[in-house]
Every structure is written in C-alpha cells, then in structure tokens.
Amino acid sequence: MQVLYARHHVRVYRFVLRLVRNEATAEDLISEVFLDVWRQAGKFEGRSAASTWMLSIARFKALSALRRRPEDELDDETAGQIEDHADDPETALAKKDKGSALRQCLTKLSADHREIIDLVYYHEKSVEEVAEIVGIPEATVKTRMFYARKKLSELLKEQGIDRGWP
C-alpha cells in the first residue's frame, strides 16, 4: 500500500485539490480515497489502469465533499491565485505574460471544465478513460473538452488576449 500511495498520491491530491480548492479538504479526501482503494482492492479487476480507477474514486469523494459544503469555499492561497477584475499594475504586467494569463484562466473555469482539462492534459487520460472516470459517453467527453477550451479562449479574450479562436 505504501508503494501504491507513494506512486499515486501526488497526482490524486492535485486532481482533488483542483476540484475542491481547499488543501486541508484535499488531504483528508486522499486519505479516504486510498483507504477505499485498500478496502476495494479485491474488486479491482484490472480492466482499466489503476490510476483511472483511483481517479474515479477520488472524483466521487471530491464531488460528495463539494455537495456537503454550502458553497464553493476557497482557501486563502487559492483565492489569491484568482484575479480580481480591478487590476493593479503588477497584475496588468502579469497579463502580458500569456502563459501566466492562461494559468489564471484555467483556475477560473467551472468544475466540469477544470476537471476535463486536467484529466486530458495533466493526467494524460484517453477519451475512453475520461468517459470511465467522469461517467459520460465518449462523444460527450469530446464535446465537453471542446467547450472547456472555448470557454478558456473567452476568458483570455476578456483579459485582452485574442487567440483568434473560436
């Protein structure tokens, strides 16, 4: 279990943290995720990658935790990463850096859009694996990713960065 935890805990933690946006909650949740993995190990049939199975459990736990919360609370650190519309000179300078602006916009996406972007880009999940984790058809996976990217472009445009797409 230690080996499994050592290999996967950081990525599972980051996936959960991006959804719940609270470090303490994310830490509590990954303990629960790996405890469930330990409990359900006998049920894992190996039809999918272990990481896909763990991310499915993590997603379920994160969404359950979000439902228990009255609203999407942000911890100070995460809130600090999100830009205010009234830009100070430093923020305005940061906007000139397209990469920094892109990262800020990635934090502003809805939970559904953050989730799919992270699963595809960071967790390197295929269309089939994302469908399994999120529990939606493969065609919906592709269209949701498309709309997540479209929203990202719109957020960038609001910051004065026009990518010429869509």
Partner 1 sequence: MSAMKQEAPERQEIEELLPWHAAGTLSRRDAQRVEEALARDPELARRYALVREEFGEAIHLNESLGAPSARAMEKLFAGIEAEPNRRRPASFDLGSRIGEFFSSLSPRTLAWSASAAAIAIMLQAGLLANIMLTGTKPSGYETASAPSTDPGVGAFTVIRFAPQATSDDITKFLEANKLSIAAGPMAGGLYKVRVAVTGIPKGELARIVKKLQEDKVVGFIATTE
Question: What's the rounded Cα separation, in Å, for the pair 27 and 17?
Answer: 8
Interface positions with partner 1 (CB under 8 A): 1-7, 9-10, 13-14, 17-18, 23, 26-28, 30-31, 34-35, 38-39, 41-42, 44, 46, 49-52, 98-99, 102-103, 106-107, 117-118, 120-122, 124-127, 129, 142-143, 145-146, 149, 152-153, 163-165
Cα dihedral 24→126→139→111 (10° resolution): 10
CB of residue 89 to partner 1, shortest distance in Å: 23
Cβ-contact 55, 133 below 8 angstroms: yes
Residue nearer to partner 1 on the CB measure, 46 or 70: 46
Q: Count CB atoms within 10 A of the CB of residue 157.
A: 14
Residue nearer to partner 1 on the CB measure, 86 or 134: 134
Residue nearer to partner 1 on the CB measure, 86 or 165: 165
DSSP state of 83: P
Reported as half-sphere exposure (CB side, CA atoms, 13 A), residue 106 has a value of 14
CB of residue 154 to partner 1, shortest distance in Å: 13
